[in-house]
């Protein structure tokens, strides 16, 4: 792992990857890397124009790429259901990369009345994973290497569940609610791993974070001075998006990765570097928090996860 580079992504011929938010940044770079190694890539975006443009761009960079665009707005549960229904009507897939996200927008509520960051970054991905679980399970039953990779952030370490104020109605901080959503990603990924192990499933639930990678995430959500600051920091401090994607590529493709691991950069502060196993904040491992978040997510999304509860 110490000398892992992008060329170490193994052959992915015959495998299907579903990558959310694949029109730019980490999602696009992940799609490009696995397409280059022979995978078929389902690239999702909430804008048809951006999604179709991304597929065209991918094919220009990887001429033999097998890729398709599908509309998916993770902030809208109706869109999540429609996407999953259409996708599961076709052949089963191998890897789901829960990559899409929003960061530090002004307080915004979704169509279903949820705070935008929690809805997009966590609830939408929770519902999507649940709706695709049986579809992925078909590939697992065929002996294929099936994984769910959930992309979090080093900022999850400052996150906590905003109990009693999930919509930010009483007090909203863009940074605190972003950290909450990324904390929820970690809690979900670890709890999914526990539940998969409890039923003897071969599906691996793996977490990844990119460190500090220059993408439009830091500039499309924030406004005002914060946006201008991050435009400068992205140039001065961040590693490029293709390097930021290394962690999730390692999590999605390396044969030595184990379920329940968090993959992040090996450099100082986990800000940049080559992928390695890093440790999530301790409170993200709390089983009571995991049970609370799991039950809450099923209730809010209306999507029961088709997994037996661990004994």
Question: Is the separation of the CB atoms in 43 and 31 below 8 Å?
Answer: yes
Alpha carbon distance 23, 28 (integer Å): 5
Task: Give bridge partners of residue 150 from the DSSP assignment.
Answer: 98, 207
State the virtual CA torsion across 248, 246, 75, 195 in degrees, nearest 10.
10
Count other Cβ atoms within 10 Å, centred on residue 291: 14
Alpha carbon distance 8, 268 (integer Å): 23
Task: Indicate the DSSP class of residue 118.
Answer: I
178 noted as active-site residue: yes
The one catalytic residue in 69, 133, 172, 178 is: 178
- 4, burial (CB in 10 Å: exposed 0-12, middle 13-18, buried 19+): middle
Alpha carbon distance 303, 122 (integer Å): 13
Alpha carbon distance 311, 304 (integer Å): 18
Alpha carbon distance 193, 196 (integer Å): 5
Question: Is the separation of the CB atoms in 265 and 259 below 8 Å?
Answer: no
Alpha carbon distance 141, 203 (integer Å): 10
Q: Which residues are catalytic?
A: 178
């Amino acid at each position: 792992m110490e000398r892992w580079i992008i060329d170490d992504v193994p052959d992915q011929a015959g495998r299907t990857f579903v990558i959310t938010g694949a029109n730019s940044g980490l999602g696009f770079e992940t799609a490009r890397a696995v397409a280059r190694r022979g995978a078929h890539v389902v690239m999702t975006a909430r804008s048809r124009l951006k999604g179709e443009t991304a597929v065209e761009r991918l094919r220009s960079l990887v001429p033999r790429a097998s890729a398709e665009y599908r509309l998916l707005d993770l902030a809208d549960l109706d869109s999540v259901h429609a996407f999953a229904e259409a996708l599961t009507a076709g052949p089963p897939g191998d890897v789901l990369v829960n990559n899409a996200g929003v960061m530090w927008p002004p307080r915004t509520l979704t169509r279903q009345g949820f705070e935008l960051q929690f809805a997009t970054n966590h609830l939408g991905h929770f519902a999507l994973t649940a709706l695709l679980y049986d579809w992925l399970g078909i590939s697992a039953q065929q002996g294929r290497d099936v994984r769910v990779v959930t992309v979090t952030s080093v900022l999850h370490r400052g996150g906590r569940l905003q109990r009693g104020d999930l919509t930010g109605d009483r007090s909203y901080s863009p940074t605190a609610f972003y950290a909450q959503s990324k904390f929820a990603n970690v809690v979900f990924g670890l709890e999914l791993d526990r539940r998969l192990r409890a039923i003897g499933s071969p599906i691996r639930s793996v977490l990844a974070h990119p460190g500090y990678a220059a993408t439009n995430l830091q500039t499309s959500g924030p406004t005002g001075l914060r946006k201008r600051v991050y435009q400068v920091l992205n140039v001065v401090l961040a590693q490029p998006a293709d390097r930021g994607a290394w962690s999730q590529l390692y999590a999605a493709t390396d044969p030595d990765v184990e379920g329940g691991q968090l993959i992040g950069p090996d450099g100082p502060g986990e800000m940049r570097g080559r992928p390695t196993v890093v440790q999530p904040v301790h409170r993200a491992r709390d089983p009571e928090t995991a049970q609370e978040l799991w039950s809450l997510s099923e209730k809010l999304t209306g999507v029961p996860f088709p997994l037996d509860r661990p004994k």
